[in-house]
Structure 1
Amino acid sequence: MAKAEIKEPAAGKTALILIDMVNHLDFEGASDMEAAAKKAAERILLLRDEADRLGVPTVYVNDNFGQWHSERSKLVAHATGEGRPGREMVRRIAPRDNDFFVIKPQFSGFYATNLPVLLPKLGASRLVLTGIAADICVLFTAADAHMREYELWVPRDAVAGESERRTKWALEIMLNSMNAETRGTDEFSLKEWVGMA
């Protein structure tokens, strides 16, 4: 069985980040996000396939959902449990053995995690941020990445929030305050992003 190893520097100095996509969608406000999250997951899967072809590493950065003694397989099992609204989405988008997986205790993927150590090891200075929720965890991760001078692409069709209005608001902040690229995957490709490095 293959394990996540750093074999060579990230193509285009880029890492694809999936934020909180191992998600049971069983919390207050999740029902408002469910359809958008599942739609974003389809775009993320296409990005992940393209990342594989290009040599861009995939890094899952995921909330522990209060499972403080947990690790990747337990979080996946928790999210795919019987009756969980997100179970089918998680089954499709679950991390593979060669993907990196970082558990976060708070909103930002950088706060109290090993992400700040992993990204330089991967040779990544450019991030593609995807996932949920656009106006909380994606936004906080983007802010911390911006302060660390990472270049950002946050594809508008690969993130989701509780409402379209809140998602649009978050994307505007990332565009205007963090100089993030926010074009969707139908307008801009990972290949183009990698080629800009």
Structure 2
Amino acid sequence: MRPALLIIDMINLFDFEGGNQLGVHALKACGPIATLRQAFADRNWPVLFANDNFMDWNQEFTDLVAKCRQHPGPSSEIAAVLGPKPGEYYVLKPRHSGFLCTTLPAILADLKLQELVITGVATDSCVLATVQDAHMRGYKVRVPQDCVAAQTPSRSTRAFALMRESMSLDTRGAKTVLRSLAAEQ
């Protein structure tokens, strides 16, 4: 079963209340996400972005990437590392979950994917909502703990507890998740 890497809301200006804190923590997750992304590319496994459009329906994902590259701080650093590459997929989402009112379910079905490695921000908001939707839809889900971020570590801790206890999800680090995926192929 071929997995997909789903990167949530990492292309982000972090220009909202609590955004500065989130940006600092997101920057720490950027390296492990980039490592996973390269490993997925090396194996020809799909990489997808589910990104907030911040209710600007006239903005394309590439426009947001360009804005982030020009924005000082974590936004530009993250966009430089995680900006989309040819062959990667993206959906713009109007709310928290990557599944709500997006083409994500259609893309996953078309690619015949049943397993997701979910990364990004915020652990206790958009990541959690997407994880719950994926789990309810029957996808096998993994959430590497070093590939997500929230405004505070305690918010991530609470979200991880919920993921592990109510959904029995694998939340080990990226390297361990990658080894596990490789062994299953």
Per-residue deviation, 1:191: 4.2
1:196 aligns with 2:184: yes
Instruction: Give the Cα separation in 1 of the matches to 2:71 and 2:8.
Output: 23
2:122 to 116, 121, 133: 133
After TM superposition, the structure 1 stretch with the greater mean CA deviation from structure 2, 97-106 or 128-137, is 97-106
Q: How many residue pairs are counted as aligned between the two chains?
A: 185
Per-residue deviation, 1:82: 4.0
Instruction: Give the Cα separation in 1 of the matches to 2:15 and 2:104.
Output: 26
Instruction: Please tell me the root mean square deviation across aligned C-alpha atoms, in Å.
Output: 1.4
CA offsets, 1:24-72, max 9 Å, x none?
Answer: 1221101112221001011000000000111210000100023211212
| Aligned residues of 1:22 and 1:79 also touching (Cα < 8 A) | yes
After TM superposition, the structure 1 stretch with the greater mean CA deviation from structure 2, 25-34 or 52-61, is 25-34
Q: What's the secondary structure of 1:180's corresponding residue? A: coil
Gaps spanning 5+ residues in structure 2: where? none
Per-residue deviation, 1:151: 0.6
Instruction: Give the Cα separation in 2 of the matches to 1:138 and 1:147.
Output: 14
| Matching residue of 2:46 | 57
Gaps spanning 5+ residues in structure 1: where? 1-11
- What is the TM-score with the length of structure 1 in the denominator? 0.89
After TM superposition, the structure 1 stretch with the greater mean CA deviation from structure 2, 33-42 or 141-150, is 33-42
| Aligned residues of 1:129 and 1:138 also touching (Cα < 8 A) | yes
1:26 aligns with 2:25: no
| Matching residue of 2:87 | 98
Q: AA paired with 2:65?
A: V
| Matching residue of 1:5 | none
Alignment of 1:41-52 (within 5 A): 41-52=30-41
Per-residue deviation, 1:84: 5.8
Q: Which runs of 4+ in 1 moved over 6 A?
A: none
| Matching residue of 1:70 | 59
Q: What's the secondary structure of 2:90's corresponding residue? A: strand
Q: What's the secondary structure of 2:34's corresponding residue? A: helix
Instruction: Give the Cα separation in 2 of the matches to 1:162 and 1:128.
Output: 21
Aligned-pair identity in percent equals 38
Instruction: Give the Cα separation in 2 of the matches to 1:110 and 1:99.
Output: 17
| Matching residue of 2:159 | 170
1:185 aligns with 2:179: no
Instruction: Give the Cα separation in 1 of the matches to 2:183 and 2:139.
Output: 16
Higher helix share: 2
Per-residue deviation, 1:89: 1.4
Instruction: Give the Cα separation in 1 of the matches to 2:29 and 2:72.
Output: 21
1:149 to 126, 129, 138: 138
